[in-house]
Structure 1
Amino acid sequence: MNKDIVYLNGEYLPADRAQISVFDRGFLFADSVYEVIPYYQGVGFRLQQHLDRLAYSLRAIRIETEYDWAAILDELVSRNGGGNLSVYLQISRGSAGYRTHAYDDRMQPTVFACCSPIRDIYADGPEQVQGFKVIVTADLRWHRCDIKSTGLLPNILVLQQAREAGADEALLVRDGLLSEGTSCNLFLVRQGVIYTPKRSSEILGGTTRELILELAAENGIPYQEVDLRPDELAGADEVWISSSTRGVVPVLEIDGCPVADGARGPLWQRMFTLFTRFQHRLMTGESS
């Protein structure tokens, strides 16, 4: 099965045949938004939540569309063989036929989607999950991080900074407060309580973040959405990050220093188990 079928403006075609205008505003100005949606066994994981966030981003930048996104993406996944795939969906404002900052509401959006293979992050036990090393650094992004924009140059530069320091991710600080990672949300655990930065325009409301809080509430695990300072990381019992394609991952080292005893914490292991059960029910259609 061809793994390189993409969707572009109503067509499913080989990736090497997909073309957009050089004047497309997504290409020129990052005037576009996107979602990354994991499909496990051909089923979209938290699909509606991703599509709700996409609708929010589109409204925020004033792009109007009428598409059956679920049908489009399900068909794309099927044409790429199903199984475990990450689906990238991007909508730009389209092309005016020339370069201009001003835009016309009558422009036709450019819609693009593609797939890439991913591992089933819940298939293995918690002992198989690799903990992350992270650094803490300044948040260089714009102030509308709640919009999932393709303008990701600050994220790219900070992630490269982390990698050059021998780390996997970076935790970002703005105005003295922790916000999130370059492509993940942040959790801190103290004395059995989960703490996470509260929702604002400074962070992206992650679908996996929301699921973690739902699972915590359903299972009697206390949590708080609060302002977090960088110095609170040193006193944490556990630190986690989360994203759609990585799930919930333990952070074992920050700026070269171990988190607590440097091992995967017990509350993370419990949350990982809850995640595993949730995904199993979703993929098998079981109700419990």
Structure 2
Amino acid sequence: MATLDGCRCRDASGRNNNSILYSILKSESLATAEEQRQQQQQQQPPPQQQQTMQHLFHRTSSSSSSSSSSSTALASLQELRQQACSCGSTRRRGVLRSPQVTCKAASAVLVKTLRFVKNVPCFRELPEDDQLMLIRSGWAPLLVLGLAQDRVDFETTETVEPSMLQRILTGLPDRQSDALAGQSCRGAAGVSVVDIEAIKAFLKKCWSVDISTKEYAYLKGAVLFNPDLEGLRCLHYIQSLRREAHQALNEHVRLIHHEDTTRFAKLLIALSMLRAISPPVVAQLFFRPVIGTVNIEEVLMEMFYGK
């Protein structure tokens, strides 16, 4: 089993237990218990993390109506160069059909995800620099994994932006100057339909496999402990935790689904699909429509460390 000098992860009996099985399942059970407790106390004030997200929602909602009418027509030349093909056509993009509903559901999953990470004993034993790196690289795939576990579905609608040639002919300004003036477009341009379809394909894959709670916990461990990041101080320890997460998932599948010889491979395929989803896309799709251009990483740090 993976060990780290100075790691003090212990079970209820006081015995040292550094296993990834213990860490993630303990965290998942704590997160579930906390969620049930909060459901029983709905009249109580929301926790600090939820207050943070709600504060951002309220802070940005008052100014969204004044900028929505003009923001849909604005886009920077740099983005257009990236989106336009050689013939000048634009790439298909999409936005949430019900942004307020979907974004609030995503923020609830984000709160639950950060609570899960906080409760993983051996994650807390890592140096703070390593923790920050793992959170920054893992929050988006963990969030999408949480959307799958909570069966949060969403609908989008396509929005077509004018091509570069159309902008030149019609004299439309670029969005960069508007952003500098403090009038953000709040995600009106949307994200690539290809990226949206990738997220939806991952959700459908998880739902078709009917992943269990324990399997989701092991998948979260495999995503959280990412040894592919440069500059990790406890690289070998994180590598061993990733390896243990895969081994634990494989053993669980062989024990519970021994008749399905392809299930573990299906779960690995789902993991590969998840790693192809980029954090900027997740932030743009699920958070920018309501919090605007606020740096999502700053929000994460405020929620996780109370800074």
Normalized against structure 2, the TM-score is what? 0.23
Greater RCO, 1 or 2 (C-alpha within 8 Å, sep 6+)? 2
| Greater helix fraction, Structure 1 or Structure 2 | 2
| Greater strand fraction, Structure 1 or Structure 2 | 1
